[in-house]
Amino acid sequence: MNEELKTGTTTLGLVCKDGVVLATERRATMGTLIAHKTTQKLFKIDSNLGLTVAGLVGDAQVLARYLSAEVELYKLKRNTSMTVKAASTLMANILSGRRYFPYWVALIIGGIDSDGGHVYSLDAAGGAIEDKYVTTGSGSPYVYGVLEDHYKDGLSTSEGIDLSIRALTAAMKRDAASGDGIDLAVIKKKEFKQLSENDITERKKKMGLD
């Protein structure tokens, strides 16, 4: 990938006992240039599904539209929501079909279905791996450092929100390609709720984060 096309990002997803948390920062870069400060990297796909994107903005936006359309068609045909695994498999098939001209992205698909909460990380070649927590982008090493130390099985979504904010804040302090605020969503059964900027700011204050 040419240096001019590289982009920096930090995204994460983690499974909680009562839902899933997805979070991203907002900065888009072109090399050392901060191209945009309010880039959307977190997408609502359905009431039970969300997507985070890292990589080329155009590719990410196209894939978000593809997945949203396919999920809606699935609901219309079957009168039920697509499972997280099915959405991840669908997206993996879309990615793997472009081996010679790949989408330059790293994705996280997270959500709730009848089997509980799930998060999957997907690479540009179509690999899809489920885990309890995942992170993508240039700031991901810093996020993993926080999550490895603080994540535990059975944490609540409220605890997951605080942990996600802490991890992204650490990444934004050390990764120059990540910054300019946080977008965060909690997914529970049939509920996709995005936190307001005020909510995130209040939580940062309570945790003593700058």
Residue 9 designated active-site: yes
Q: Are 18 and 120 in contact (CB under 8 A)?
A: no
181: tokens are 């605020």
Burial environment of residue 191 by CB neighbours within 10 A (0 to 12, 13 to 18, 19 or more): exposed
Provide the Cα torsion 187, 189, 190, 193; round to 10°.
-30
- Among 9, 10, 52, 135, which one carries the catalytic annotation? 9
Residue in the structure block whose two tokens are 């959405």: 87
Instruction: Indicate the DSSP class of residue 82.
Output: P
Q: 3-state DSSP: the chain helix, strand, coil percent, rounded to 5?
A: 35, 30, 30
Q: Give the angle 129-130-131 at the CA atoms, nearest 5°.
A: 120
Number of CB atoms found within 10 A of residue 13's CB: 33
* Conformational region of residue 99, where left means phi above 0, alpha means psi within -120 to 50, and beta covers everything else: alpha
Question: Which residue numbers are catalytic?
Answer: 9
